């Protein structure tokens, strides 16, 4: 479906352009941009949010993958010479390069097909981020905010909550976009913790424990973590091996990872665990 700018929304980029003025205003109110913020927008599309933010902060930076959109954005915002457009894949982009004196405030209407890996990528930059506001598939927001026992609780929520406070803000119906997606969306705010509430001795080990547990989420911990930890080890830190992975909170997963970190030879610590 094309629009007045003649740009066809591309399926392979997961493009759904926001056009509802009421929703745009509500998002801007939630972000509350200030003139001296270090604002970064991921996937500006046709610039619906960009336009509102530039009105407050002319030093906005945007990261856009679709090279055909770059001239559209440059033309539309030609009178904002300080707008910096980075034509890049946000999944591979080093957001640390954008940091000057202030931590980043990241905004994005994220394509559904890359939202989870992109959030993991951004969590790796959480030390240089003040906050993040994302439009996501409603189900992804539910997973980010889920607590133990929820159906949506899993790896994404645990790792997001390791780094950030997660605040679901409001839902957005498909009609706010062109073309309309087949799913409901929601806005979420992620605020990195100034001090991690449950710091792990070895973050990569924590990732491995959580990934292993939830790859067998219907099994008991005894079975799900059989290759990593023994029943005796679980019981030694007060964890019932008959529980399922979705019954444990972040603190318990950190306790398991720390137990493994303490029991590993110093020279191998963290070496063999793959990164996300």
- The CATH number assigned to the domain holding 238 equals 1.10.8.100
Domain check: are 183 and 117 in the same one?
yes
In a domain, 271, yes or no: no
Q: Among residues 146, 166, 192, which one ends one of the domains?
A: 192
Domain check: are 208 and 161 in the same one?
no
pTM of the model: 0.87
The annotated binding site for S-adenosyl-L-methionine is made up of 16, 18, 43, 64, 89, 109
Distance CA 8, CA 68 (A): 10
The annotated binding site is made up of 16, 18, 43, 64, 89, 109
Q: How many helices (H) and strands (E) does the chain have?
A: 10, 9
Per-residue pLDDT of the chain (276 residues; tens, 9 = 90+): 344 444 444 444 445 677 788 888 999 999 999 999 999 999 998 888 999 999 999 999 999 988 888 999 999 999 999 999 999 999 999 999 999 989 999 999 887 778 889 998 999 898 999 999 999 999 999 999 999 999 999 999 999 999 999 999 998 877 777 777 678 889 999 999 999 999 999 999 999 999 999 999 899 999 999 989 999 999 999 999 999 999 999 999 999 999 999 987 654 444 433 344
Half-sphere CA count of 34, side-chain side, radius 13 A = 7
Contact 202, 269 (CB under 8 A): yes
Domain check: are 241 and 109 in the same one?
no
Please count the structural domains in the chain. 2
Structural domain including 228 reads: 203-263
Burial-class residue 220 by CB neighbours within 10 Å (0-12, 13-18, 19+).
Answer: middle
Coil/strand/helix, residue 57: coil
186: Cβ contacts below 8 Å, ≥ 6 apart: 135, 136, 137, 138, 141, 142, 168, 169, 170, 171, 172
Residues composing the chain:
276
Distance CA 133, CA 150 (A): 23
């Amino acid at each position: 479906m094309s629009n007045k700018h003649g740009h066809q929304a591309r399926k392979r980029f997961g493009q759904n352009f926001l056009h509802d003025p009421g929703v745009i205003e509500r998002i801007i109110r939630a972000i509350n941009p200030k003139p001296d913020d270090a604002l970064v927008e991921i996937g500006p599309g046709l610039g619906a949010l960009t336009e509102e933010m530039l009105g407050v902060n002319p030093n906005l930076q945007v990261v856009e993958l679709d090279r055909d959109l770059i001239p559209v954005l440059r033309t539309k915002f030609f009178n904002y010479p300080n707008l910096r457009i980075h034509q890049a894949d946000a999944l591979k982009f080093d957001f640390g390069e954008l940091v000057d004196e202030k931590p980043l405030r990241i905004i994005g209407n994220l394509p559904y097909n890359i939202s989870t890996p992109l959030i993991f990528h951004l969590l790796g930059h959480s030390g240089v981020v003040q906050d993040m506001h994302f439009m996501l598939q409603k189900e992804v927001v539910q997973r980010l905010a889920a607590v133990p026992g929820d159906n949506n609780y899993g790896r994404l929520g645990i790792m997001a909550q390791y780094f950030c406070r997660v605040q679901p803000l409001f839902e957005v119906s498909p009609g706010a976009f062109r073309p309309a997606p087949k799913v409901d969306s929601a806005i979420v705010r992620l605020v990195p913790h100034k001090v991690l509430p449950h710091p792990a001795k070895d973050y990569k080990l924590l990732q491995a424990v959580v990934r292993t547990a939830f790859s067998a989420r219907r099994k008991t911990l005894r079975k799900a973590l059989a290759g990593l930890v023994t029943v005796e080890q679980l019981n030694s830190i007060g964890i019932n091996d008959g529980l399922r992975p979705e019954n444990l909170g972040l603190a318990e997963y950190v306790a398991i990872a720390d137990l493994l970190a303490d029991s590993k030879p110093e020279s191998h610590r963290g070496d063999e665990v793959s990164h996300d």
